Structure 1
């Protein structure tokens, strides 16, 4: 099994790269999707978050009110640490289950936005970092409806490009076109993945 840790800042295009790798046969384990799964209605994770942050982080129907929670934690590093302490262990446990279920010859890509911040780089055979310039990232986040001030706050709450590069085996630049990115993914697969799984 080849385990690849995929990371990059918000708006860098990690999900696009994950899709390109999945199209080549990789099994993608998406930490963001797992983070939603472990706080779904009725889960112990959601109960723990509500107990820590109050009923104000729940919607009327008992689901997690993500904007309300984001407003609390992105403005307060201590609150974000408390949230991470609740959710990250649950996400890691679920990811470990999914990796364990993969065939022994699989290429497993774990899409982990906070790979650097949580000190997980050494857990992978390869660390793949996706970067994009700040203007591109802000434009992508604006397309998703994220206000510029919120986008900048989220970007500044994450690791820097330099910190990600320090743990990267390969860096992909996603400031250009999808075709440019796909060509970089093809090169990465040919040079680093294919030889490792032969």
Structure 2
């Protein structure tokens, strides 16, 4: 029998501080399921995902060590909606299944699922509640430029491909404002941690009733 786990879907735009927030929850012993980490695992060397990609796009998609050449793959799908759809159709079910497997093996009171495109990819259907880490777009731009060494134009292109701040906030059950100092952030996380513990306990009670 599958146990019902209380799952918090953590999301936010680029450079909003999702990892920082997730790590604060982890300090309370909460297990993290990270979609980005899993997305890398399903295309790791010798994986079924990478074999399928190589069969579809050819050996040119591989680096000399047999691992995925991400830049080459990006070039293949960047301006090609059909190829991007093919890739997403292959990888999304794999990523989704692996996330659910990790949730099932989790032993913490609840689980944080970190999914950058939670709403865009309709993965909010997998979670019990959604938490958005929010910062102003101009802060996103300056933080991404600083962190990734990319141009302002590149960051604006990424922002344009994600849902707007207003759309994201409208769908959020909870919001963390990550524009203040670290102590303010820590206290917001602590408050939500208490809330999620209660919600997880309520869910367990309902399941056993």
TM-score normalized by the length of structure 2: 0.84
SS at 1:122 equivalent: helix
Partner of 1:120: 123
Counterpart contact for 2:10–2:115, Cα < 8 Å: yes
1:52 to 1:174, Cα distance in 2 relative to 1, 3 A:
farther
Matched, 1:130 2:149: no
2:72 aligned partner: 68
The two structures, once aligned, show a CA RMSD in angstroms of: 2.0
- After superposing on structure 2, the runs of 4+ consecutive aligned residues of structure 1 that deviate more than 6 Å are none
C-alpha distance in 2 between matches for 1:177 and 1:79:
42
Q: Which protein is bigger by CA-based radius of gyration? A: 2
Q: 1:110 Cα shift?
A: 0.6
Aligned: 1:108 with 2:111: yes
Q: Deviations over 1:77-117 (max 9, x none)?
A: 444333222211111111111111123x6211110111101
1:118 Cα deviation (Å)?
1.3
1 CA distance for matches of 2:18 and 2:155? Answer: 16
The Cα shift of 1:66 comes to 1.9
Higher alpha-carbon deviation: 120-129 or 15-24: 120-129
- Provide closer, same or farther for how the CA distance between residues 147 and 80 of structure 1 changes in structure 2, counting only shifts above 3 A: farther
CA contact (8 A) 1:116 1:163 kept: no
CA contact (8 A) 2:18 2:114 kept: yes
Partner of 1:41: 45
Provide the rounded CA distance (Å) in 1 between the counterparts of 2:81 and 2:179.
Answer: 29
Residue 141 of structure 1 is matched in structure 2 by 144
Q: Is the 8 A contact 1:7 1:115 kept in 2?
A: yes
What is the deviation of 1:24? 1.2
CA distance in 1, matches of 2:66, 2:186: 41
